[in-house]
């Protein structure tokens, strides 16, 4: 069994550090993508710290809530936020071990994110506004389609590495040394599509729109304001960072620290930042060069991902 | 408690309760207060008996009655598998009985209290007998008693045409199944020379091809009861028609008698399963899971929606069982043990959360007088406790951590992945990842469906006057729901305890050892079973992390003292927001209907009634329907064929007594000749 006995205090410290770190970095990623997008459109983007300014402003604002809403509306963003942080501790970031890896692996990660989504979608129905329902319906629809493709993509990597536990998986990959199998490319492409869908980016959803007919995630959280909205925005940013980190872990774990030596950690930090940034460039390029798909064309995109994942499995194991 | 002592006590309690209920039949209140507490007491004894067998790990059997001349005996046998199902039965039967005390006092059911109470006892007694029966005769007797009691309960509201036809459909389908079972058991008995399970189900008693025929017969017989697609058509009719407490029992436990039969006979009673059987069970499990949840999404009748989810969950149970059968077929006892453990764990979980959801639905239907989700809305304010418990049930059935549904689905995934690594068969390599993907799809669709079911019913503004005036259920109905909700959480946080309890059952049936990860004890799931370790799960740790995360979220949004939350009206697009603005259940599931058009084949009619210009309609009528595929293409033609054959056979039914006597004579002579000729 891979579970080694870790001192509870050390475990708590690891969880604390990683979740705080992810919370601290996540707004930067959002801004980085915005800036790159802007420069591709010959615009000047927001300042690097804009994400933090926005969160600080929202957190200071007076909380507004609908008269028709119940406690579910209040609980929604909080559970969403908690799920995002909990999920962030299930993924190895700098070290080839996730702080909470003894709680579970890939399946728990997907389940935790699904819990957050469930909470937010349910809360969206609470104000009685038609937009909330519209967003919740679309978000759950896309999630339902994306989940099998996500699972299949993750299974391919897990079966190749011999474990569904992310810590064990990454350690296995590191021990293997740099290797390349054609199935990696297929699985990576399949998962990238799902990551784009799950993080609400073009061509699936447009994070910058508030046009009623096209918005998905934004429609779901349209009624939220002030501190409640800050939680949602922050958690979404953490989720995005988390998905990119997951791709990095599965396909290019080069540089990840295998010990807690300061030098190794510094190298790991630089490598991680570089790799996530590279992925962010890819996401930005996809977002800039594509138009948003109609909702009913999304299943086609997802089935491409499903097909790629199956091909990856076939290439690897038949 | 030893079964030799426990079982007679249970039966005596049931019979005494039944007699007392019938004596008090004229006084509804007295009948209720005798029937349900009496039944709960009997169920508690059942639970103790089941726990003692599971704990000791040694099966108990004995003989009730022997007919000397024919050597016919009625016997019982409580092994681990039977004890597990008895435990599942009694865990939900007790809260349902308590709930029924309150539920049957509603004006709607009050005068039928004695009827429901008496049959409730008969039904539970019959199910208990099904699980403990040690031979085919006792089993079939109990099976039939169970079917008849259920049919009577489905027809409780027999003034309604809908209830009568649901009960009729249930009877017809059940009897097709029972016919297959009788044929199967007779064939087994003639091959093994004994009606007792210990001989007839001891392994491969039937040679080669006969074994496959037997498997098919038993699968058909038990599959009908379990509601496996395509044998499910009675289920979405019968479950909503019955009183809600009975629906909870039907969904939670009665379907499981089919699963029990599939395990007892099809999976582990006919010798080592062949790979094709496993593939068949996995395929039908996957089909039931996905189609069940897809049909559930389109239902706007709360109880019918829950009924379709039962089909889905039976599918998930079969996925685990099928993986176990395939594992046995290619010689991996450890894979089989994980698959079977997943399947049995989900049997318990489904009983708990579906029981909870049906009880909640019962409370809502009682309070509003309708089952239509579109007529609810805003119920959380009027019924806060029912709403909370329903939400917990919804989270559990959606397979979300750290609740119980997640734990068993996690184990099912593990079975597929372990199974994949444990085999080099390309069929396995294709089927297991595909099944994993189907399971993921099912879970995600279930979550979408329960966002709809909970959100549209309990949140925002009431959509009808009845919903606006709903009253919270009395405590006697809420406490059982609280118990089941707590169980959903406990079974999710302590999966290791469940796995330890199941260990004996899975080892005795599959030969595979489930070794618990000792580090986390009852809190964790993790196997070290010969295979390379795959993953492990400690839901409580996630629960702790979630709690910490919630604390951070609350701390971040903590208001300064004195600053109150400002309450404002929801933006109603320029007008005042009314219930008419709200997103409906139909609208919520519309994108999925469009995406899965090929499955639903929806038809819609829009009719605009205009007076002068077609651009200014006075009224728009909209009618949408999804195609009842199985009724139209499978059962419709089948029924037509049967009626045609029956009409043809009318020639035999001449109405003349002489002719009938002649038939009897010819038959008897024919049989005598046959016996003489065959020696």
pLDDT, tens digit, 9 for 90 and up, residues B279-313:
999 999 999 999 999 999 999 999 999 999 999 99
CB A281 within 8 A of CB A192: no
Average pLDDT over residues A12-24: 93
Q: Which tokens belong to B158?
A: 């027999």
- Give yes or no for residue A49 having a pLDDT over 50: yes
Pairing mode, strands B60-67 and B603-610: unpaired
Could you report the per-residue pLDDT of B251-279, keeping only the tens digit for each?
999 999 999 999 999 998 888 888 999 99
Using a cut of 0.90, tell me whether the model's pTM lies above it.
Answer: yes
CB of B337 within 8 A of CB of B512? yes
In a domain, B21, yes or no: no
The whole-number average pLDDT for the span B545-565 is 85
Contacts of B398 in chain A (CB under 8 A): 114, 118
Residues of A in contact with B447 (CB under 8 A): 114, 117-118, 140, 143-144
Residue B364 domain flag = yes
Please give the full DSSP string across B570-637, using - where no structure is assigned.
Answer: PP-TTS---GGGSPPHHHHHHHHHHHTHHHH--EEEEEEEESS-TTSEEEEEEEEE---HHIIIIIHH
In a domain, B191, yes or no: no
Residue B309 resides in a domain:
yes
Number of structural domains chain B divides into: 2
Please tell me the distance from the alpha carbon of residue B299 to that of residue A318, in angstroms, as a whole number: 41
Sequence-separated (6 or more) residues with CB below 8 Å from residue B491: B348, B349, B352, B404, B407, B498
Q: Do A104 and B538 touch (CB under 8 A)?
A: yes
B551: nearest CA partner in chain A: A82
pLDDT digits (tens, 9 = 90+) for B47-71: 999 999 999 888 888 888 888 887 7
B 634-663 residues with CB < 8 A to A: none
Q: Which of residues 14-73 of A touch B (CB under 8 A)?
A: 15, 19, 59, 62-70, 72
Looking at residue A4, what is its pLDDT?
53
> Residue B401 domain-assigned?
yes
Answer yes or no: do A108 and B589 touch at CB < 8 A. no
Cβ burial A246-275 (10 Å sphere, 16+ → b, else e):
bbbbbbbbebbbeeeeeebeeebeebbeeb
pLDDT value of residue A1: 36
pLDDT the model gives residue B605: 85
* Mean pLDDT value of segment A219-228: 91
Which of B551, B585, B605 is the C-terminal boundary of a domain?
B551
Q: How far is A299 from chain B (nearest CA, A)?
A: 7
Residue B559 has pLDDT above 80, yes or no: no
The residue out of B525, B551, B577 marking a domain boundary is B551
Is there a single domain that holds both residue B538 and residue B649?
Answer: no
Which value, in Å, is the radius of gyration of the alpha carbons in chain A? Answer: 19
Measured distance CA(A118)–CA(A75) in Å, rounded: 11
**Most B CBs within 10 Å, among A122, A187, A295, to test the B interface:** A122
The yes-or-no verdict on residue B614 having pLDDT over 70 is yes
Domain range for B664: 636-677
Mean pLDDT of B474-487: 96
- CB neighbour burial string for A57-75, b if at least 16 within 10 angstroms, e if fewer: ebbeeebbbbebbbebbbb
* Interface touch B557/A230, C-beta < 8 Å: yes
Please tell me which residue of chain B has the smallest CA distance to A156.
Answer: B433
How big is chain B by its Cα radius of gyration, in Å?
26
Query: Strands, E, within A28-122: which ranges?
Result: 64-66
Please report the pLDDT score of residue B622 as a whole number. 81
What is the arithmetic mean of pLDDT over B68-90?
90
**B589/A137 touch (CB, cutoff 8 Å), yes or no:** yes
Q: Taking Cα atoms as reference points, which of A122, A89, A88, A76 lies closest to residue A228?
A: A76
Task: Kindly state whether residues B373 and B475 are assigned to the same domain.
Answer: yes
Q: Tokens at residue B39, please? A: 């039944």
Indicate the average pLDDT of chain B. 90
> B289 near B315, Cβ under 8 Å?
yes
The neighbouring-strand residues paired with B567 are A65
Distance from C-alpha of B524 to C-alpha of B537, rounded to nearest angstrom: 6
Bridge partners (DSSP) of residue B133 are B76
**Which of A14, A125, A153, A310 is the best residue to mutate to test the B interface, defined by the most B CB atoms within 10 Å of its own CB?**
A125
Residues from chain A that touch B451, judged by Cβ atoms under 8 A, are 118, 121-122, 125, 136, 140
Q: What is the pLDDT of residues A164-186, one digit of tens each?
A: 889 888 988 888 887 788 888 99
How confident is the model over B420-431, as pLDDT tens digits?
888 888 888 889
Chain A: nearest CA to B459, how far in angstroms?
A: 5
Q: Tell me, what's the pLDDT at A2? A: 43
Length of chain B: 679
Closest CA to A75 of A23, A137, A122: A122
From the list A70, A85, A125, the residue facing B549 with the nearest CB is A85
Judge whether B590 is closer than 8 Å to chain A, CB to CB.
yes
Q: Which of B414, B441, B565 sits opposite A65 (nearest CB)?
A: B565
B132 part of contact set with chain A, CB < 8 Å: no
| Cα–Cα distance, A58 to A279 (Å, whole number) | 28
Q: Which is it for the CA torsion B579, B581, B582, B587, positive or negative?
A: positive
Share of chain A above pLDDT 70, in %: 98
Residue B222 CA to residue B281 CA, distance in Å, equals 12
B529: nearest CA partner in chain A: A1
Query: Which of A63, A68, A114 lies nearest to residue B565, judging by beta carbons?
Result: A63
- What is the pLDDT at residue B519? 67
Average pLDDT over residues B613-620: 81
More confident residue, A25 or B605: A25
Confidence of residue B561 (pLDDT cuts 50, 70, 90): low
**Averaged over B238-249, what is the pLDDT?**
93
For range B420-443, the mean pLDDT: 89
Distance from CA of A265 to the nearest CA of B (A): 24
Residues B525 and B640 in one domain: no
User: How far is Cα A77 from Cα A84, in angstroms, rounded to an integer?
Assistant: 10
Which tokens in the block code for residue B464?
Answer: 């009808």
Backbone angles phi, psi at B560, to 5 degrees: -65, 150
Name the closest residue on chain B to residue A307, using Cα atoms: B434
Q: Would you state the pLDDT for residue B655?
A: 80
Q: Where are the alpha helices (DSSP H) in B298-422?
A: 302-329, 333-368, 379-382, 384-397, 404-421
Which phi-psi region, left, alpha or beta, contains residue A200 (left: φ > 0; alpha: ψ -120 to 50)?
A: left
> Helices B302-329 and B426-458: crossing angle, nearest 10°?
160
Tell me which residues of chain A, numbers 180 to 239, contact chain B at a CB-CB cutoff of 8 Å: 223, 227-228, 230-231
Q: Which of residues 235-254 of B touch A (CB under 8 A)?
A: none
A112-126 pLDDT tens trace? 999 999 999 999 999
Percentage of residues of chain B with pLDDT beyond 70: 97
- Closest-CA residue in chain A for B539? A103
Whether residues A82 and B552 touch (CB distance < 8 A) is answered with yes
Does A120 touch chain B if contact means CB atoms closer than 8 Å? no
Number of Cβ within 10 Å of residue A280's Cβ equals: 18
What sign does the dihedral B234-B150-B370-B485 (CA atoms) show?
Answer: negative
Distance separating alpha carbons of residues A195 and B20, to the nearest angstrom? 63
* Tens of pLDDT, residues A64-88: 888 889 999 999 999 999 999 999 9
* Spatial distance between the Cα atoms of B93 and B80, rounded to a whole number of angstroms: 20
The reply to whether A153 touches chain B by the CB within 8 Å rule is no
Interface test with B, best of A15, A87, A126, A130 (most B CBs within 10 A): A130
Tell me if B158 is assigned to some domain.
no
Q: Same domain, yes or no, for B399 and B306?
A: yes
Residue A5 is given by DSSP the state P
Neighbours of B513 (CB within 10 A): 15
The predicted pLDDT at position A3 comes to: 45
> Does A155 contact B441 at a Cβ distance shorter than 8 Å?
no
A318 class by beta-carbon count within 10 Å (0-12 exposed, 13-18 middle, 19+ buried): exposed
Give chain B positions within 8 Å (CB) of A86: 542, 545-546, 549
Q: What share of chain B is helix, strand, coil (3-state, %, to 5)?
A: 70, 5, 20
pLDDT band at B579 (very low <50, low <70, confident <90, very high): confident
Q: Does residue B653 share a domain with residue B506?
A: no
pLDDT exceeds cutoff 60 at B531: no
Show Cβ contacts of residue B5 under 8 Å, excluding neighbours closer than 6 positions: none
Contacts of A141 in chain B (CB under 8 A): 448, 591-592, 595
Q: Which of B357, B527, B377 lies closest to B457 in space, CA to CA?
A: B377
Would you call B489 an interface residue with chain A, using a CB distance cutoff of 8 Å?
Answer: no
The reply to whether residue A128 touches residue B581, judged by beta carbons under 8 angstroms, is yes
Residue B518: per-residue pLDDT: 67
Q: State residue B194's pLDDT score.
A: 83
Number of neighbouring beta carbons within 10 Å of residue A162: 15
Task: For residue A164, list chain B residues with Cβ-Cβ distance below 8 A.
Answer: 414, 417, 534-535
Q: H helices within B24-79, ranges in order?
A: 28-56
- Determine the Cα–Cα distance for residues A4 and B305; give it in Å rounded to an integer: 45
> Are the CB atoms for B75 and B134 separated by under 8 Å?
yes
Mutating which of A21, A117, A140 best tests the B interface, going by the most B Cβ atoms within 10 A?
Answer: A140
* B609: contact with A, CB 8 A cutoff: no
Q: Do B587 and A152 touch (CB under 8 A)?
A: no
Residue B634 pLDDT exceeds 80? yes
pLDDT reported for residue A212 = 75
Distance (Å, rounded) from C-alpha A108 to C-alpha A91?
A: 11
Does residue A13 sit at the B interface (CB-CB below 8 Å)?
Answer: no
Interior CA angle at B513 toward B509 and B514, to 5°?
105
One domain, residues B521 and B648: no
Would the pLDDT of B206 be above 70?
yes
Q: Is residue B643 domain-resident?
A: yes
| Opening angle at CA B22, ends B21 and B24, nearest 5 | 65
Tell me, what's the pLDDT at B527?
65
Evaluate whether residue B521 is within a structural domain.
yes
Cβ separation B570–A1 shorter than 8 A = no
| Residue B415 and residue B435 in contact, taking contact as beta carbons nearer than 8 Å | no
Q: What is the mean pLDDT of residues A40-47?
A: 93
Which pLDDT score is estimated for B558? 84
Across the interface, whether the CB atoms of B448 and A144 are under 8 A apart is answered yes
Give the count of Cβ contacts less than 8 A between chain A and B: 289
Q: Please identify, among B490, B521, B551, the residue that sits at the C-terminal boundary of a domain.
A: B551
* Residue closest to A216 by CA, chosen among A279, A128, A124, A286: A124
Closest C-alpha to B306, from B368, B252, B387: B252
Average pLDDT over residues B473-501: 94
- Per-residue pLDDT for B530 more than 50? no
Q: Reply yes or no on whether the pLDDT at B529 is more than 60.
A: no
Averaged pLDDT, B23-44? 93
């Amino acid at each position: 069994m891979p579970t080694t006995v870790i001192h509870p205090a050390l475990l708590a410290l690891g969880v604390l550090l990683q979740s705080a770190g992810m919370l601290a970095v996540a707004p930067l990623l959002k801004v980085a993508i915005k800036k790159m997008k802007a420069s591709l459109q010959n615009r000047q983007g927001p300042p690097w710290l804009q994400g933090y300014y926005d969160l600080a402003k929202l957190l200071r604002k007076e909380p507004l809530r609908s008269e028709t809403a119940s406690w579910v509306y209040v609980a929604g963003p909080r559970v969403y936020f908690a799920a995002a942080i909990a999920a962030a501790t299930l993924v190895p970031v700098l070290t080839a071990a996730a702080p909470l890896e003894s709680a579970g692996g890939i399946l728990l990660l997907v389940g935790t994110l699904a819990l957050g989504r469930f909470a937010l979608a349910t809360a969206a129905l609470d104000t009685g506004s038609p937009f909330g329902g519209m967003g919740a319906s679309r978000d759950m629809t896309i999630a339902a389609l994306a989940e099998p493709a996500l699972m299949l993509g993750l299974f391919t990597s897990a079966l190749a590495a011999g474990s569904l536990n992310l810590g064990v998986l990454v350690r296995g990959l590191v021990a293997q040394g740099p290797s390349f199998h054609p199935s990696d490319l297929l699985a990576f492409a399949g998962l990238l599509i799902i990551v784009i869908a799950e993080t609400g980016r073009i061509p699936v959803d447009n994070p910058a729109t508030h046009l009623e007919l096209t918005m998905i995630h934004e429609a779901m959280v349209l009624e939220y304001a002030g501190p409640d909205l800050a939680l949602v925005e922050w958690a979404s940013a953490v989720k995005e960072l988390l998905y990119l980190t997951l791709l990095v872990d599965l396909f290019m774990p080069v540089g990840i620290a295998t010990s807690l030596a300061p030098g190794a950690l510094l190298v790991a930090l630089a490598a991680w930042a570089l790799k996530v940034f590279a992925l962010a460039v890819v996401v930005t390029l996809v977002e800039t060069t594509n138009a948003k798909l109609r909702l009913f064309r999304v299943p086609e995109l997802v089935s491409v991902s499903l097909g790629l994942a199956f091909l990856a499995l076939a290439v690897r194991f038949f | 408690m030893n079964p030799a002592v426990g079982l007679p006590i249970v039966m005596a309690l049931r019979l005494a309760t039944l007699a007392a209920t019938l004596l008090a039949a004229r006084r509804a209140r007295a009948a209720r207060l005798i029937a349900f507490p009496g039944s709960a007491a009997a169920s508690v004894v059942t639970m103790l008996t089941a726990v003692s067998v599971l704990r000791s790990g040694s099966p108990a059997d004995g003989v009730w009655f022997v007919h000397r001349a024919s050597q016919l005996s009625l016997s019982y046998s409580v092994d681990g598998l039977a004890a597990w199902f008895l435990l599942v039965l009694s865990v939900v039967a007790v809260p349902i009985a308590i709930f029924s005390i309150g539920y049957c006092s509603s004006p709607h059911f009050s005068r039928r209290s004695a009827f429901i109470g008496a049959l409730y006892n008969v039904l539970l007694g019959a199910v208990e007998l099904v699980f403990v029966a040690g031979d085919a005769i006792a089993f079939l007797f109990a099976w039939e008693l169970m079917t008849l009691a259920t049919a009577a309960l489905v027809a409780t509201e027999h003034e309604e045409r809908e209830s009568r036809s649901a009960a009729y459909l249930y009877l017809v389908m059940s009897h097709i199944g029972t016919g297959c079972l009788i044929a199967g058991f007779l064939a087994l008995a003639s091959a093994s020379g004994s009606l007792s399970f210990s001989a007839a189900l001891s392994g491969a008693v039937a040679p080669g091809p006969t074994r496959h025929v037997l498997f098919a017969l038993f699968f058909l017989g038990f599959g009908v009861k379990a509601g496996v697609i395509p044998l499910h058509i009675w289920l979405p009719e019968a479950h909503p028609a019955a009183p809600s407490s009975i629906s909870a029992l039907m969904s939670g436990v009665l379907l499981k008698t089919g699963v029990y039969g599939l395990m007892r006979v099809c999976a582990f009673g006919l010798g080592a399963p062949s790979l094709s059987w496993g593939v068949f069970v996995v395929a039908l499990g996957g089909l039931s899971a996905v189609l069940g949840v897809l049909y559930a999404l389109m239902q706007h009748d709360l109880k019918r929606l829950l009924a379709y989810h039962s089909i889905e969950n039976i599918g998930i149970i079969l996925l685990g069982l099928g993986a176990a059968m395939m594992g046995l077929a290619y010689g991996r006892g450890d894979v089989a043990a994980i698959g079977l453990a997943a399947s049995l764990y989900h049997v318990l979980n489904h009983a708990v959360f579906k029981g909870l959801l049906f009880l909640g639905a019962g409370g809502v239907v009682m309070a509003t007088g309708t089952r239509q989700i579109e007529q609810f809305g805003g119920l959380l304010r009027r019924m806060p406790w029912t709403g909370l418990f329903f939400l917990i049930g919804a989270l559990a059935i959606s397979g979300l951590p750290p609740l119980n549904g997640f734990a068993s689905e996690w184990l099912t995934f593990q079975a597929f992945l372990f199974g994949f690594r444990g085999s080099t068969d390309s069929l396995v390599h294709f089927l297991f990842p595909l099944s994993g993907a189907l399971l993921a799809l099912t879970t995600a669709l279930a979550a979408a469906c329960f966002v709809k079911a909970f959100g549209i019913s309990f949140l925002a503004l009431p959509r009808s006057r009845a919903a606006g005036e709903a009253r919270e259920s009395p405590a006697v109905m809420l406490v059982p729901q609280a118990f089941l909700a707590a169980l959903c959480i406990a079974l999710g946080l302590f999966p290791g305890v469940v796995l330890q309890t199941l260990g004996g059952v899975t080892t005795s049936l599959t030969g595979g050892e489930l070794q618990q990860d000792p580090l986390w004890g009852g809190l964790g799931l993790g196997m070290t079973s010969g295979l390379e370790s795959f993953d492990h799960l400690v839901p409580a740790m996630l629960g702790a992390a979630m709690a910490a995360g919630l604390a951070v979220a609350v701390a971040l949004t903590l208001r300064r003292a004195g600053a109150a939350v400002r309450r404002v009206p929801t933006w109603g697009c320029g007008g005042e927001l009314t219930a008419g603005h709200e997103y409906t259940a139909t609208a919520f599931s519309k994108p999925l209907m469009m995406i899965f058009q090929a499955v639903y084949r929806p038809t819609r009619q829009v009719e605009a009634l205009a007076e002068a210009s077609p651009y200014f309609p006075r009224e728009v009528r909209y009618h949408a329907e999804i195609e009842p595929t199985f009724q139209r293409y499978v059962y419709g033609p089948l029924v037509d064929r049967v009626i045609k054959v029956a009409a043809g056979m009318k020639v035999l039914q001449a109405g003349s007594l002489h002719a009938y006597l002649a038939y009897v004579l010819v038959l008897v002579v024919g049989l005598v000749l046959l016996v003489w000729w065959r020696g």
